Amino acid sequence: MTILQKFPCNSTNMKWWALLMFMGITLVHVLGILIFTRGFLLTRTELSEYSKCSDIQTSPCNNDDTCWTKPALDRLVIIVFDALRFDFVAPSSFFEEKKPWMDKFHVMHRLATQQGASAQIFKAIADPPTTSLQRLKGLTTGGLPTFIDVGNSFGAPAILEDNLIHQLVHNGKRVVMMGDDTWIQLFPDHFNTSFPFPSFNVKDLDTVDNGCIEHLLPSLYRDDWDVLIAHFLGVDHAGHIFGVHSASMIDKLEQYNGILERVVEAMETQSEPGGLHENSLLLVMGDHGQTLNGDHGGGTAEEVETAMFAMSTKKPTPYLPLEVDNSYCRSNVEGKNLCISSIQQLDFSVTVAALFGIPFPFGSLGKINPELHALATAVHNLGSSDSVNAQNRSETEDWMEIYANSLCINSWQVKRYIDVYSGSSVIGFSDNDLKDISDLYEEANKIPYHPSHSSLSKSKLKIDAYSKFLTSVAGIARSKWTEFNLTMMITGFSIMLASIFGHIFLIKWLVKDGLRFSSCSSPVISFEMIFAYIVVFIRSCSFLSNSFILEEGKVGSFLLATTAILQLRYALMKKKMILEAILFILLIPIVSFGIQLGQFKQAVNSLFLKVSDSWMLGINSESYIWINTVEVLPILVLIILACLLFKGICQRSFIGIFKLVIVGTIFSYMLIAMYWASDSHLLSQHAAFGVIRGNVIPRVVYTVSLLQVLFLAIIHLFGSEKTTVWKEKLVGKALAMLCSWSSTVILLSGKQGSIVALASVLGGWCIIRLMSIEGDPKNGMAVTASYSSHTILWNLLAVCLFFCTGHWCAFDGLRYASAFIGFDEFNLIRQAVLLTIETFGFSHILPIIGLPFLVAYQHRAADKGTEGHVLQLCLVYLIYGLTIVIGVTFTILCVIIQRRHLMVWGLFAPKFVFDVVALFLSDLFICLASFYYIV
């Protein structure tokens, strides 16, 4: 016995069953997305605290300095070679097979193998994500950046949490930057002098590098800086375009070796007592590695393993005990012994801060690296490395004591951060983790002292205990913030995949057992239906490519145009609705034009939101006619929409409730027109319009819209039906609800809102009219085919409207200013709601509310009765939901496959977030619509 037999179509139970069905689908989606997100989008809360010199007074560590540690450096030169693989720097003898790109950095090998030289090569390990912006953030903050850093910097590129650059500047260090302009985005007001160069064009191998060369070498002879940062991009761009094997890559590496030769020569010639570089440190480093294809962003060994070269202008380093020294040595290609140490990029900021004697960044989780610390703190020539006399041991003991106390301060700072983080963040550590951390910290602070222990032995015990504490904390943090849980990701994907099959099963079940039409014609699946689902599949598959995601708006408009041409073909064959088909095709170029404008950063608010340069149109923005057109056209379109609504209520016998709501919308449209007119160049100086500026009109529009929605809901729950004509009632309810939402959506969208609204009205009307091409369907399968093709067409139009309004799937595509229309003060919930309505209003909210028009104007609807209409409404919403969930599921599949891709955090993850929010919003409004239209 089927469910329909248990709950007859003419019973109230069937209507409630429809609502429960959509609510169940929503819960499945929520479950799948939450499980997947738990394994993918790991989060961290940014804290606003900053470390200060005076904070050290509360630490249990010995400190006689004015700040945290005793300064060991006067000047620091940081040269960043973007995407520097470890095997670019390490000798080929350290690998099983020699590659063409190896052994190009002769200067590093020479300095690192010189007897008693103060130079060292490191294997630097980065934490994923290995995108440049996230790596620079990790290097300077000492934290573990994740995709969603919840805090003040959400949606802003600048780093607002404590970081190394802030501490350097705040403590009187002069910082000079040249190269990749990402540094300016992250630290907009920190540099005394900066020479940024655009980093967007990956096909350009030389502009950034030549700019660095132009300013780097002369700067080494000047005394107007303490820290110099030069960020080269040629290797990164060569990898992206040509790959690691390319001749361009070899040329770049050889060029960099020549640059380093000149840098080292400039520093060594000024390293004598009293010279500019008497006490300087050179750090040559990569921010991440790259795969053989030049990609980075994930966590493979090729991507996370980069290199660091350190050279001090001081005398050789002291002897490091084996317990502290983690280097490993081999003969290089010339047969000379070369040792390579390892360093975590997490340790970079705290090590540099300790060497400069400044406070450590508050959120740093790193450990002061012993080899790099010893390299920069050496002050005496200890002679031969294989002869350790009493003087050597004395200086070693001195360094060990200094390092142990530095680790004490390091551990105190990390423990302080963990305590504050766990107390202020809902995304904190578990009680067991906090207990383990506290126990390790207490153990390190209570090293037992025995009179027989030497100072060296006691320092070793302290170093071991503090190192164990810091390593454990970093491991716990990594497990919380940086590791993908592939099992949970696949589980979430499987649930979403099951949801697709659930949609298909319910659709087939409704057709088979619910839509009992006469069987006078065979249930043939039409080509139009097959083509519609092929279009959905093609669009979903495009999400597997970063290039197609970047051009998603163009893909949507292309598929919409293709489907529209097919509709025109049917219209010509049937000799029906030809005018509507032509009008729909003519509408698509207008929508595509809006999509093109939305892809330009300078047109982020679309063409009619503000008067902007129109060079791409060949129109002079200073033109009086152009300015008047931009100002007047949106208002005229809004008046046209109001007239259409007024004509609609005059020609139809809507019940008074619906007429009242529509009249309220016309009133809101007039208020919006006045609001725009008061802000226009033509009328802004008029005294009458000056009075109505401000927040009054937007708040009145919001209030009217909210009251309309509440009024319709109350009437639906407690009112009585005054008409038995089902089509008339459905059209009235749908139009009234659309009107209730439209005024707010139009207002938040700016002056483009009225134009997009008119385009959506015309597009929707054409789709409804084109449904009648096939005539009166005779069976359930024919109804399904008709609904499938036109519902998918409806969805494609909605997708295009999202991009037409100037949005794209990235956080910098959000128009935060729209959330403050009508309000000056910030309220998180209110601003989030307004921003959501503005972002998804035309693309999700209004299309879902308007879907019942497809059923109301379907020919078969007039003679099937209320029960048949209920089932057809369920069918339409199931098909619409299926098209959305297929796209989201393919996005999830894309994220799983591309989780180690270069663009995973910059492109795929934002796309996932936008699609998930859109899915939840669609599910919510489908549930509300089913309650409003069906129950």
Tokens 């729950």, located at residue: 717
Which of 59-63, 306-310, 881-885 has the lowest average pLDDT? 59-63
Residue 9: the pLDDT is: 46
Q: Helix (H, G, I), strand (E, B), or coil: what is residue 722?
A: coil
Q: Which residues contact 627 (CB under 8 A, 6 or more apart)?
A: 611, 621, 681
- Let me know: does 126 contact 83? Beta carbons within 8 Å: no
Please name the helix (run of DSSP H) or strand (run of DSSP E) that holds residue 311, with its range, or none: strand 305-312
Tokens of 772: 């009648």
With a cut of 80, say whether residue 749 has pLDDT above it.
yes
Residue 615: the pLDDT is: 34
With a cut of 60, say whether residue 450 has pLDDT above it.
no
Where are the alpha helices (H) located in 749-864, listed in sequence order? 752-770, 780-804, 828-840, 846-850, 852-856
Sign of CA dihedral 579, 583, 586, 592: negative
With a cut of 60, say whether residue 521 has pLDDT above it.
no
Which DSSP string corresponds to 569-587?
HHHHHHT-SHHHHHHHHHH
Tokens of 566: 């097919």
Tokens of 415: 């423990």
- Let me know: does 761 contact 642? Beta carbons within 8 Å: no
Instruction: Look at 605 and 350; give whichever has higher pLDDT.
Output: 350
Q: How many Å apart are CA 888 and CA 519, to the nearest integer?
A: 36
585-606: pLDDT as tens digits: 999 999 888 888 766 543 333 3
Strand 175-180, strand 75-81: pairing = unpaired
Region 619-637: mean pLDDT is 70
pTM of this prediction?
0.70
Cα distances (angstroms) measured from residue 621 to each of 253, 593, 616, 624, 628: 47, 18, 11, 8, 11
Band (pLDDT 50/70/90 cuts) for residue 61 is confident
C-alpha angle 182-549-292 in degrees, rounded to nearest 5? 65
Residue 153: the pLDDT is: 40
With a cut of 90, say whether residue 141 has pLDDT above it.
yes
With a cut of 90, say whether residue 666 has pLDDT above it.
yes
- Let me know: does 464 contact 323? Beta carbons within 8 Å: yes
With a cut of 60, say whether residue 822 has pLDDT above it.
yes
With a cut of 80, say whether residue 879 has pLDDT above it.
yes
Region 890-912: mean pLDDT is 82
Tokens 């504050």, located at residue: 420
The residue length of the chain stands at 935
Instruction: Look at 426 and 368; give whichever has higher pLDDT.
Output: 368
Which DSSP string corresponds to 419-456?
HHHHHH-SS---HHHHHHHHHHHHHHHT----TTS-HH
Band (pLDDT 50/70/90 cuts) for residue 2 is very low
Tokens of 399: 């360094």
Tokens of 308: 């660091």
Q: How many Å apart are CA 117 and CA 99, to the nearest integer?
A: 28
Band (pLDDT 50/70/90 cuts) for residue 457 is confident
Where are the alpha helices (H) located in 41-181, listed in sequence order? 86-89, 106-113, 132-141, 164-170
Q: How many Å apart are CA 813 and CA 911, to the nearest integer?
A: 11
Instruction: Look at 186 and 858; give whichever has higher pLDDT.
Output: 186
Please name the helix (run of DSSP H) or strand (run of DSSP E) that holds residue 45, with its range, or none: strand 43-45
Tokens of 521: 């014609």
Residue 380: the pLDDT is: 41
Strand partners, 179: 196, 231
Q: How many Å apart are CA 630 and CA 611, to the nearest integer?
A: 7
Instruction: Look at 743 and 868; give whichever has higher pLDDT.
Output: 743
End-to-end CA distance of the chain: 24
Cα 114 to its chain centre, rounded Å, is 46
- Let me know: does 381 contact 366? Beta carbons within 8 Å: no
Band (pLDDT 50/70/90 cuts) for residue 321 is low
Q: For residue 842, what is the DSSP state? A: I
Q: How many Å apart are CA 173 and CA 63, to the nearest integer?
A: 22
Strand 337-344, strand 119-125: pairing = parallel
Band (pLDDT 50/70/90 cuts) for residue 3 is very low
Q: Helix (H, G, I), strand (E, B), or coil: what is residue 870?
A: helix
326-342: pLDDT as tens digits: 777 887 777 788 889 99
Residue 710: the pLDDT is: 93
Please name the helix (run of DSSP H) or strand (run of DSSP E) that holds residue 122, with its range, or none: strand 119-125
With a cut of 50, say whether residue 867 has pLDDT above it.
yes
Q: Which residues contact 591 (CB under 8 A, 6 or more apart)?
A: 557, 560, 759, 763, 797, 800, 801, 804
Highest mean pLDDT among 11-25, 366-380, 404-418: 404-418
Which residue, among 211, 318, 309, has the nearest Cα to 267 in the 3D structure?
Answer: 309
With a cut of 90, say whether residue 158 has pLDDT above it.
no
Residue 774: the pLDDT is: 62
Band (pLDDT 50/70/90 cuts) for residue 449 is low
Sign of CA dihedral 93, 94, 98, 103: negative
Contacts 24+ apart (CB under 8 A), 267-275: 267/77, 267/220, 267/311, 267/313, 268/313, 270/220, 270/221, 271/313
Cα distances (angstroms) measured from residue 919 to each of 30, 557, 881: 9, 21, 8
Which DSSP string corresponds to 455-516?
HHHHHHHHHHHHHHHHHHHHHHHHHHHT---HHHHHHHHHHHHHHHHHHHHHHHHIIIII--
* Average pLDDT value for the chain: 82
Q: How many Å apart are CA 226 and CA 165, to the nearest integer?
A: 12
Q: How many Å apart are CA 636 and CA 120, to the nearest integer?
A: 71
Instruction: Look at 62 and 282; give whichever has higher pLDDT.
Output: 282
